[in-house]
Chains A and B, each alone.
Chain A
Amino acid sequence: GDSVTQMEGPVTLSEEAFLTINCTYTATGYPSLFWYVQYPGEGLQLLLKATKADDKGSNKGFEATYRKETTSFHLEKGSVQVSDSAVYFCALRVNNDMRFGAGTRLTVKP
């Protein structure tokens, strides 16, 4: 079945460090891919998305490129801030089936 695998955390970085969170997927169809962010005690918020191969999603300095050849959608940010501390989820959607990765907790220290 369809699934998402993302790198295990937790990830701890210093402010202004470069961030990469790896995400790979398995899908029988042509999925749309998403990154969501969750702050403590809250629901998930969409961070960015890409709907076809080679699309790049971007928002708030975060980027991810839909790589069909490697079935990947890695999240990157050039310079993280303390306010980026949260749990990040990679997700895919094929028709009405939405699947999520296990989440990666990011802590950014000043």
Chain B
Amino acid sequence: DGGITQSPKYLFRKEGQNVTLSCEQNLNHDAMYWYRQDPGQGLRLIYYSQIVNDFQKGDIAEGYSVSREKKESFPLTVTSAQKNPTAFYLCASSFTTESNTEAFFGQGTRLTVV
């Protein structure tokens, strides 16, 4: 079955550590996105990528980094520079050239700083 997979589902980070969240899709989508969800604030865009080896900052990119070395993969690193990283992180993907199509979401990773 085609889909988008995020791992791990739960992640704990000590202060000062970098952590990487995985996102893989087998839908042959060109575009991939990372969103952060906090209670009552909806989804905020962190980074997005429309093509391999290219990505753009979203609204809240500070303290995060990404790479897009393969079409199927778009990992997100939460760095120690991110002062309030505890949140629910959602990865999504979509076709690039068909703007009337929806984005597909993974099941999310809940990151907690301990």
A42 smallest CB distance to B (angstroms) = 6
Question: Within 8 Å of chain B (Cβ to Cβ): is A61?
Answer: no
The residue of chain B having its C-beta at the shortest distance from the C-beta of A44 within the complex is: B105
Question: Within 8 Å of chain B (Cβ to Cβ): is A25?
Answer: no
Question: Within 8 Å of chain A (Cβ to Cβ): is B102?
Answer: yes
Are B48 and A46 closer than 8 Å at their CB atoms?
no
Chain B residues near A51: list those with CB within 8 A: 100
Q: Considering the chains assembled together, what is the distance between the CA atoms of A102 and B35 in angstroms?
A: 13
The residue of chain A having its C-beta at the shortest distance from the C-beta of B58 within the complex is: A97
Question: Within 8 Å of chain B (Cβ to Cβ): is A110?
Answer: no
Q: With A89-B43, A98-B94, A102-B40 in contact, do A43 and B108 touch (Cβ < 8 Å)?
A: yes
Are A43 and B90 closer than 8 Å at their CB atoms?
yes
Question: Within 8 Å of chain A (Cβ to Cβ): is B85?
Answer: no
Chain B residues near A95: list those with CB within 8 A: 99
The residue of chain A having its C-beta at the shortest distance from the C-beta of B40 within the complex is: A102
Are B105 and A32 closer than 8 Å at their CB atoms?
no
Are A42 and B108 closer than 8 Å at their CB atoms?
yes
* Residue from B6, B90, B99 in contact with A93 in the complex, judged by beta carbons closer than 8 Å: B99
Are A34 and B102 closer than 8 Å at their CB atoms?
yes
The residue of chain B having its C-beta at the shortest distance from the C-beta of A4 within the complex is: B42
Question: Within 8 Å of chain B (Cβ to Cβ): is A94?
Answer: yes
Are B107 and A43 closer than 8 Å at their CB atoms?
yes
Are B42 and A101 closer than 8 Å at their CB atoms?
yes
Sample of 5 further A-B pairs with CB below 8 A, known A41-B110, A49-B102, A51-B100: A34-B102, A42-B107, A43-B108, A44-B90, A98-B33
* CB-CB nearest 10 A-B residue pairs: A43-B105, A102-B42, A51-B100, A100-B43, A44-B105, A32-B100, A46-B102, A43-B107, A43-B108, A103-B42
Enumerate chain B interface residues (CB-CB to A < 8 A): 6, 31, 33, 35, 40-43, 45, 48, 50, 90, 92, 94, 96, 99-108, 110
